[in-house]
Every structure is written in C-alpha cells, then in structure tokens.
C-alpha cells in the first residue's frame, strides 16, 4: 500500500502554485475538466497572464521567489482561504520539495503529484543513485561520499578522467563542473560546492565518470495510487547550453525502439522501487556505444512534456489530476502508442551572443506562430515585462508532423513567423540550429552547441531576395527606436550600441 492518504474524488477547485506558461497550461486543462482554478502571484506578477486566465487570483508577497512562490505557508493559506481541494505545483519552485505535499496532507488538501516519500528518496542525487543501483538500475560509475578535493582526486584516479562534479541536491546545470585532469580538481571542487550552496542551500557534491559526447535521453513515467505504472516513451534533450535543455524531441534520432523499450522497463522498475505515482521522468545518459546510465529522476511534470502529448494524444496534466482524485490509469503499457514526430524549442529572453545571458525587459510586439501542427505554450503578451526575478522563458514552441524531416521543416516555418521586439531572444539561435546539417541529420550530443557555437550564435543571414525589404524594415524600426530614446543621429545610436548587428550590417550595405 502507498503511504499517501486517498482524498475524495471530484475536485471543484484547484490552486496552481506556479507562474508563467506552466500555470496557464495547467489552468487550461482544469477548465476543460470543469474544475475552478486559483492563481497566486508575487508583486512583480500582478499583471501577469496567468493571473488573468485563472478564475481567482491571490497575492502572496514580494517579487523574490523566496518571499512568495517558495513560501509553503502562504500557498497553503491561500488554498484554504479560497476553498481549494488540491494544489498542482507545475515545475520548478516547490514542485520537488516534499515540504509541500507534507503540508498539504496536514491541511487536508490533495497534492497533485507524487508522494513526499518518493520525492525524498529521489531528491538527493547521491541517495537516488544508491536507491536505483539497489533496484537494478544502471548508474554511472562514481563516488558519493567525497569529503573534500583530496578525496575527489583519489576517486578520479580510480574512475578515470574526465569526471563530473555534481551538486547532490541540484538540477538545471547548477553546481556542475567538468574536470579533465587532476590540476583542475581543487578549483572545480570549490566552485561546485559554492554554487551548490548558493542555489540549493546544500554544498554536498559528488563525483561520477563523465560520459564523453553522450545523448541525454529521458523516459516519461506515469502511475496511479494502486501501483500501476507505465512509461510514455522517450524524449531526446541533448541540445543544451550550460547543461540546460534548449530543444527536445521525440522520437530520439539515436534510440531505436528496442532501446526505448529497455529504458522504459528500467524506468518503470525504478519508479516502483520508491512507490511512485503521478507523472515523473527518468533521465539517462546514452553513451556512444549504446549503453545507458541513470542520471536522475525528476519527480514532477517536465518542461518538455508537450512533445510527448503531441505524439501520444495524452494530456499529462489531466492524467495527474485523475490520479490525484484516486482514479486508476485508463490504459496499460501495451495500449500506449504514438504517431509522428514532435520537437520543442524553448524561446528565452536571452542573448546567445553574450553567453546566453538573460535579457529582461518589456516586450513591445509579440506575434506567435500558428497553423497546422503548431503549439505555443506561453505566458507573455505585448507590453508584459520579462522579470529579472524569474526564469526568462517566453514560451515553448512545439510542432508535430508525420515524420522528423517534416517536423524540422515545420519548425523552420514556425520560427520564421515568431516576432518579439523590445528584448533580445534566442530565436536567431534556433533558426540557425534548424538549418545546421548535423542537427537536421539528427547527429548531435550534449556538447553540440559548444562545438558549433561559431555557426549557431549570432544573427542569421537574410535571404538575397529579401534583403532590400528587410533593410527598409530595419531602418524604419531603428529610426523609431532612436526617436524614442532621444538619439540625435543614427550614427550616435550605433556608437552607443543600441542597434542590433542586423541593423548595422544592413545600413552599411545600403550606404
């Protein structure tokens, strides 16, 4: 028996303990299910779109997440005051913090997610490695209990360089350092510990063998409270910058069906070992020789879940809600099928030419793609502010097509329709990526961006037959920007660095 008490079926109102696109995405499914939605917002998000689309909305404090979205007590208070029977955490913030489901249980509120016990077992990467190894899941060779840099050096001699240092309670690429030789270890160890302490409040770091040029392939799992568990195929998340995912797709170009079935069986085995239910994801490194190694489990809904939904027809948020209401999975493993191929691009307010640094500010114009097979999960609108307090995600642009070649072509078309002004974005990066011959062939790994940054980072060339029209459009836009900022001449604007390389290049060509 699972250790989380079963709550009454049929939620009438659910609080979404998150912000931005994922709060909107969850709210949409709740509305389709006839369930009322309650949003929470910080002072910085008073005018945010997720506040507008919910049935009710309540303030929870200042802009810093530590004073608002990360406050379990405030989330529970709003849920009780608004009469919610359940809370959906989305991803990020409190979604993998066992304190929230525990507080929900004490307050008589259902947590739409896994049990706190499973979160605790999988929340520490070192503990998760031990637990999964005991359950027969293949893990990357490593050492979990190094007391300091000297221990790490000794461990690396046994494992063999290169090695990876990782924060035990981390994620999102924070607290990670690749170490190529003994001379790099001490400084890398201290930097990894410092970053782990800063982001996660825990400076515990462990060491594992670095798999050179691996694919990052993950398996979606889904289970109910009666112990029924299935995997919902794989997603390839190998296109990453600074160990953070940028593009995801399914099926993986590198994982044949028999390997996916093997990885899926391993993931289900691992999930059962910790009494898991709801949606979760097992992440693996796929070595060039075809061997797969357990990396970590994310005990929540993943950012990239739309691609799984597009190829299977499932609504994973709906399934999470049904499981939380005590319902059994409506399908067995052999009944799950998928069709076609799906790809997702994360559209960020960031500047790839400056090392992908965030680019907060106010969006002036926003035109999102549409048409056959296109899905845009977003939380932005013209005039909204991309805050420096939170992740600079603008939206997740996903496409579906009958096969990968057509999905790549469809994404190219969708990206060409996407317009954002007022801030810098990574749209140009995505356009170049989807033209790169190796990516088009599906021949990439986790170091792809770093190896190809000269061709991927920057501004795409304008097709010859469009250069005159583009130059005119850019000149008009630049003129408007100069008047708005009080610049006396275009040359002064260029010297001040306000014009993009696109504008400068086109003006130089027309002089």
pLDDT tier for residue 198 given thresholds of 50, 70 and 90: confident
The confidence score (pLDDT) of residue 141 equals 86
Q: List own/partner pairs for 328-331 with CB under 8 A and 24 or more apart.
A: 328/224, 328/226, 328/228, 329/222, 329/223, 329/224, 329/228, 329/230, 331/230
pLDDT beyond 80 at 508: no
pLDDT digits (tens, 9 = 90+) for 131-172: 999 998 999 888 888 889 999 999 999 999 999 999 887 766
Q: Would the pLDDT of 334 be above 70?
A: yes
Exactly one of 300, 346, 375, 432 is catalytic; which is it?
A: 300
Architecture per CATH, domain 141-209, reads as 2-Layer Sandwich (3.30)
Q: Report the pLDDT averaged over residues 354-374.
A: 96
List, for residues 432-466, the tens digit of each pLDDT value. Answer: 999 999 999 999 999 999 999 999 986 545 555 55
Which has more pLDDT, 370 or 489? 370
Flag whether pLDDT at 277 surpasses 70. yes
pLDDT at residue 499 is higher than 70: no
- pLDDT attached to residue 507: 46
Q: How many whole angstroms separate alpha carbon 27 and alpha carbon 15?
A: 9
Mean per-residue pLDDT of the chain: 89
CATH fold for the domain made of 114-137+212-339: D-amino Acid Aminotransferase; Chain A, domain 1 (3.30.470)
* pLDDT in the model for residue 72: 98
Cα dihedral 142, 148, 149, 155 sign: negative
Among 80-84, 204-208, 312-316, 337-341, the minimum mean pLDDT is found in: 204-208
> Does residue 300 carry a catalytic annotation?
yes
In CATH terms, are 141-209 and 345-455 the same topology? no
Whether 48 has a pLDDT exceeding 60, the answer reads yes
Rounded-to-integer distance, Cα 304 and Cα 237, Å: 9
Residue 125: what pLDDT?
Answer: 81
> What average pLDDT does this structure show over 316-336?
98
- Whole-structure pTM value: 0.84
Given this model, what pLDDT does residue 280 score? 98
Average pLDDT (384-394) is 96
Q: Scan for tokens 């003006």, then name that residue.
A: 507
Sign of CA dihedral 69, 112, 124, 235: negative
Task: Tell me what percent of the residues of the chain surpass a pLDDT of 70.
Answer: 87
Distances (CA, A) of 259 to 71, 254, 271: 41, 9, 18
Q: Would you state the pLDDT for residue 477?
A: 53
Asked if CATH classification 3.40.50.20 holds for the domain at 13-112, the reply, yes or no, is: yes
Query: What percent of the chain clears pLDDT 90, i.e. is strictly above it?
Result: 76
**pLDDT of 1 above 90:** no
Is the predicted pLDDT of residue 278 greater than 90, yes or no? Answer: yes
Q: Is the bond preceding 26 in cis, omega lying within 30 degrees of 0?
A: no
pLDDT for position 480: 57
144 against 386, higher pLDDT: 386
Fold of 345-455: D-amino Acid Aminotransferase; Chain A, domain 1 (3.30.470)
Burial of 325 (0-12, 13-18, 19+ CB in 10 A): buried
The dihedral built from the CA positions of residue 300, 303, 309 and 312, taken in this order, carries a sign that is: negative
Q: What is the pLDDT of residue 491?
A: 43
Question: What is the domain partition of the chain in residue ranges?
Answer: 13-112, 114-137+212-339, 141-209, 345-455, 464-510
């Amino acid at each position: 028996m699972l250790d989380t008490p079963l709550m009454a079926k049929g939620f009438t109102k659910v609080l979404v303990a998150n912000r931005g696109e994922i709060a909107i995405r969850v709210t949409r499914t709740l509305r389709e299910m006839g369930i009322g939605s309650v949003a929470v917002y910080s002072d910085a998000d008073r005018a945010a779109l997720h506040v507008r689309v919910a049935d009710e909305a309540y303030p929870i404090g200042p802009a810093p997440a530590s004073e608002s979205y990360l406050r379990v007590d405030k989330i529970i208070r709003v849920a009780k005051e608004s009469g919610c029977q359940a809370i959906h955490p989305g991803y990020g913030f409190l979604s993998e913090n066992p304190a929230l489901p525990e507080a929900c249980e004490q307050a008589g509120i259902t947590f739409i997610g896994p049990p706190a016990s499973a979160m605790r077992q999988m929340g520490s990467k070192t503990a998760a490695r031990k637990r999964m190894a005991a359950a027969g899941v293949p893990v990357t060779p490593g050492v979990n209990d190094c007391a300091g840099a000297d221990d790490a050096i000794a461990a690396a001699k046994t494992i063999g360089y290169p090695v990876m240092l990782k924060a035990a309670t981390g994620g999102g690429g924070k607290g990670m350092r690749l170490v190529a030789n003994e001379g790099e270890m001490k400084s890398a160890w201290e930097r990894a510990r410092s970053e782990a302490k800063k982001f996660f409040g825990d400076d515990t770091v462990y060491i594992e063998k670095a798999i050179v040029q691996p694919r990052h392939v993950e398996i979606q799992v889904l289970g109910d409270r009666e112990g029924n568990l299935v995997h919902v195929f794989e997603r390839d998340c190998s296109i990453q910058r600074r160990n953070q995912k940028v593009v995801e797709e399914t099926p993986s170009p590198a994982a044949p069906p028999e390997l996916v079935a093997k990885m899926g069986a391993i993931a289900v085995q691992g999930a059962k070992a910790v009494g898991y239910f709801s949606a979760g994801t097992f992440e693996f490194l796929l070595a060039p020789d075809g061997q797969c190694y357990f990396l970590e489990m994310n005990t929540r809904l993943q950012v990239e879940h739309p691609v799984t939904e597009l190829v299977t027809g499932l609504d994973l948020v709906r399934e999470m809600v049904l499981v939380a209401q005590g319902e059994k999975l409506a399908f067995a493993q052999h009944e799950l099928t998928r069709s076609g191929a799906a790809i997702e691009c994360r559209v960020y307010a960031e500047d790839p030419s400056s090392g992908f640094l965030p680019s907060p500010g106010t969006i002036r114009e926003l035109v999102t793609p549409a048409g056959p097979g296109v899905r845009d999960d977003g939380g932005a609108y013209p005039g909204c502010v991309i805050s420096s307090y939170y992740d600079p995600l603008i939206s997740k642009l996903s496409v579906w097509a009958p096969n990968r070649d057509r999905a790549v072509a469809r994404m190219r078309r969708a990206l060409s329709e996407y317009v954002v002004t007022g801030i810098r974005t990574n749209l140009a990066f995505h356009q170049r990526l989807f033209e790169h011959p190796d990516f088009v062939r599906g021949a990439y790994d986790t170091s792809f961006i770093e190896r190809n940054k000269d061709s991927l980072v920057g501004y795409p060339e304008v097709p010859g037959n469009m250069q005159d029209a583009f130059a005119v459009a850019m000149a008009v836009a630049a003129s408007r920007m100069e008047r708005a900022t009080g610049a006396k001449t275009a040359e002064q604007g260029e010297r001040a660095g306000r014009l993009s390389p696109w504008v400068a290049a086109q003006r130089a060509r027309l002089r």
